[in-house]
Structure 1
Amino acid sequence: MSDTQSILSIAKRTLETESKAILNLVDFLDDHFAEAVQFILQSQGRVVVSGVGKSAIIASKIVATLNSTGTPAIFMHAADAIHGDLGTIQKNDVVVCISKSGNTPEIKALLPLIKIGKNKLIGITGNMDSVLAKQADFVLSTYVEKEACPNNLAPTTSTSAQLAMGDALAICLLELRGFSSADFAKYHPGGALGKKLYLRVADIVVNNQVPKVDIHSSVKEVIVEISEKMLGVTAVLENGKVVGVVTDGDIRRMLRKHDNIGELTAGDIMTKDPKSVDTDTLAVKALKTLQDNGISQLLAFENGTYAGVVHIHNLINEGIL
């Protein structure tokens, strides 16, 4: 077997092992899972997620997913909790402890302290006979037959199962809360994903100049306007109303068609019925209009009044494309 074939074989085996383990979690879902979701949903506090080692890393990711989907959460390392960070847990918080074995020393030391605080405990473990499973109010099984590691030692399949179970919790809570794309955008205002959900044409055109010429303007005036406003287009107005556009492409076609351009006006070379968009339209929808029509600019209108131009480069700069 060649090196390439060997590498691909190992990778495929790893993914198949982990995917089967995740699929097997479906059979472990029971009333405890549903009750845990309902309790978190009704809780007045946060979700405190804890673990050690690789499970702690998974816990951090689950916290990030919960926070971004409408469920307040915070990470607490189990080792730090028993050395001063136990105050992270507040009165109405729900605690989630993640441990493959359910018997790690830090988790075993933490459990009675959680009980003293009378916080509800959700255990995510691969060992249903463990201390964690026996002391938790709700137990979610993430049992796996084996790790993807050939020595069955490195946490691989087990951490994938933990992560998947955390995602299942988060998505259940998201849907039960009626968490919408608009809500999601509020939690992700800075990234490209959030921008696709909230950025509107109005947010873009306000930063652009507003190119416009009269229908009787000379070709020279048209070229100067397009050049100065740097958007590759200008709107053509007649009596204050937009009747067409002149683009870089219109200029090139004019030059190929006419030897004498001195007598031509904007009205002679413009494209009528230009594609347009309302300023309240989401930028991602404006992008689709541009792509569907194979064009680079759209005129933007606010309450029927010409407001400016949105260029595909604007959308690229915003990370929409």
Structure 2
Amino acid sequence: MPDSTESAFDKIDYARRVLRAEAASLDVVAGRLDDGFNRVADALFACRGRVAVIGVGKSADVGQKTVGTFNSTGTRAYILDATRAVHGDLGSIHPDDVALLLSHSGESEELVRLLGPLKKLASSLLAITSSAGSALGRAADAAIVYGPIKEACPLALAPSTSTTVMLALGDALAFTLLEQRQFTADEFAKFHPAGSLGRKLALVSELMRRGSELRIAAQTDTVREVFAKVRHTGRRTGAIMLVDADGRLAGLFTDSDLARLFENREDRLLDAPVAHVMTHAPVVIAPESRVAVALDVLRARKFSELPVVDEAGRPVGMLDITDLIGLDPLAGGADSRPALRLIDRKSA
């Protein structure tokens, strides 16, 4: 049985204090930012090669994440292990590359012995550190100096707040460069073809059902004729797209609509034109829109199917919710800069 001391320890309260301590330090560091941030960002933006990110220990772990964020947002970068660097890996640095060194103290032995060689090999030497007077701070051509901070570790030993600060500053640099380059969601999508993120960034045209998988009929056909004529192969969708004489989408009739006719004892309508019972002017989406936009619509409107139409309003595909299970809408929706076309024909 746990003793009274252990049972009295409020773990959630303590965890909240740790998080709030680190959050407070981030706020302090944000207020300390000066022209050093501008100079580092300008050097990275002007870099004609790649960014070599170098750190030791936990700073190297932060560097790995920063490299990933750089690469995915338009700033080419690679991680350079400090120990391997002094044993030959400095050969990976091109004269057009910029070296970005991460060190809380600025005095890490492994980094300090790299300063001289890096000055000769890289186009510029940049730093993220807490001390402008450190060996790293003095050697750097430009540095983000975030100043003294208190580690959240109760022993004040394990890197905690310091690594959180460096991680956030790496994000701040990456996203500042993203804005300067006007990096778009289309470019971001090129670097994320896999996983749920890649699918959400994909275009509707890449995931929609098409061709023989679609159920399309004329709006002048009766309900009975529609179900007798419509044939499809592959994945089954629960919606039939009804078109006018020019082939433009005029309405939608679903399996649920058919079930309601029977539930309401309206069997006579089976021999009436489907136009009488279909959903007129349904919400549609364009094939060049992002899947994330379609997910937002399906979720907000509680739809199971979303017709895809071309510029003339002709059906070219169908998005079915069963094909997108496991994908949640991107927070805040998709980037507004790429061309999107979502049409609610009821209000058009």
Structure 1 residue matching 2:128: 3-state secondary structure = strand
Letter in 1 for 2:221: H
Equivalent in the alignment of 2:242: 236
**Which structure shows the higher helix fraction?**
1
Structure 2 residue matching 1:254: 3-state secondary structure = helix
- Name whichever of 186-195 and 94-103 sits farther off: 186-195
Within-5 A mapping of 1:136-147 = 136-147=140-151
Say yes or no: does 1:255 pair with 2:262. yes
Equivalent in the alignment of 2:325: 316
1-side partners of 2:328 and 2:99: how far apart?
37
2-side partners of 1:140 and 1:168: how far apart?
11
2-side partners of 1:67 and 1:159: how far apart?
20
CA contact (8 A) 2:203 2:287 kept: no
Letter in 2 for 1:309: M
- Check 1:86–1:239 CA distance in 2 against 1; reply closer, same or farther (3 A cut): same
Alpha-carbon distance, 1:47 to partner: 0.8
CA contact (8 A) 1:142 1:165 kept: no
Within-5 A mapping of 1:168-179 = 168-179=172-183
Structure 1 residue matching 2:318: 3-state secondary structure = strand
Equivalent in the alignment of 1:185: 189
Equivalent in the alignment of 2:345: none
- Check 1:263–1:216 CA distance in 2 against 1; reply closer, same or farther (3 A cut): same
- Out of 158, 170, 178, which is 1:154 matched to? 158
Equivalent in the alignment of 2:285: 277
- Name whichever of 178-187 and 90-99 sits farther off: 178-187
CA contact (8 A) 2:261 2:267 kept: no
Equivalent in the alignment of 2:313: 304
Alpha-carbon distance, 1:69 to partner: 1.0
- Out of 80, 102, 105, which is 1:101 matched to? 105
CA contact (8 A) 1:226 1:232 kept: no
Q: How many residues align?
A: 321
- Name whichever of 303-312 and 160-169 sits farther off: 303-312
Say yes or no: does 1:53 pair with 2:57. yes
Alpha-carbon distance, 1:212 to partner: 2.3
Letter in 2 for 1:133: G
Equivalent in the alignment of 2:333: none
Say yes or no: does 1:246 pair with 2:250. no
2-side partners of 1:70 and 1:178: how far apart?
10
Equivalent in the alignment of 1:9: 13
Say yes or no: does 1:131 pair with 2:135. yes
Q: CA RMSD in A?
A: 2.8
Per-residue Cα deviation, 1:216-241 (whole angstroms, up to 9, x for no partner)? 35627617848966211212345464
Structure 2 residue matching 1:244: 3-state secondary structure = strand
- Check 1:127–1:238 CA distance in 2 against 1; reply closer, same or farther (3 A cut): closer
Per-residue Cα deviation, 1:255-287 (whole angstroms, up to 9, x for no partner)? 123375696255264333333333333333333
CA contact (8 A) 2:131 2:148 kept: no
Equivalent in the alignment of 2:295: 287
2-side partners of 1:125 and 1:297: how far apart?
53
- Name whichever of 146-155 and 109-118 sits farther off: 109-118
CA contact (8 A) 2:107 2:136 kept: yes
Structure 1 residue matching 2:22: 3-state secondary structure = helix
Alpha-carbon distance, 1:3 to partner: 4.2
Q: Which runs of 5+ in 1 are unaligned?
A: none
Normalising by structure 2, report the TM-score.
0.81
Per-residue Cα deviation, 1:180-204 (whole angstroms, up to 9, x for no partner)? 2222222223243344344224641
- Check 1:72–1:12 CA distance in 2 against 1; reply closer, same or farther (3 A cut): same
Letter in 2 for 1:288: D
Letter in 1 for 2:69: T
Equivalent in the alignment of 1:40: 44
CA contact (8 A) 2:25 2:149 kept: yes
Structure 1 residue matching 2:271: 3-state secondary structure = coil
Normalising by structure 1, report the TM-score.
0.88
Structure 2 residue matching 1:165: 3-state secondary structure = helix
Letter in 1 for 2:241: A
Structure 2 residue matching 1:205: 3-state secondary structure = coil
CA contact (8 A) 1:246 1:266 kept: no
- Check 1:140–1:221 CA distance in 2 against 1; reply closer, same or farther (3 A cut): closer
- Check 1:67–1:208 CA distance in 2 against 1; reply closer, same or farther (3 A cut): farther
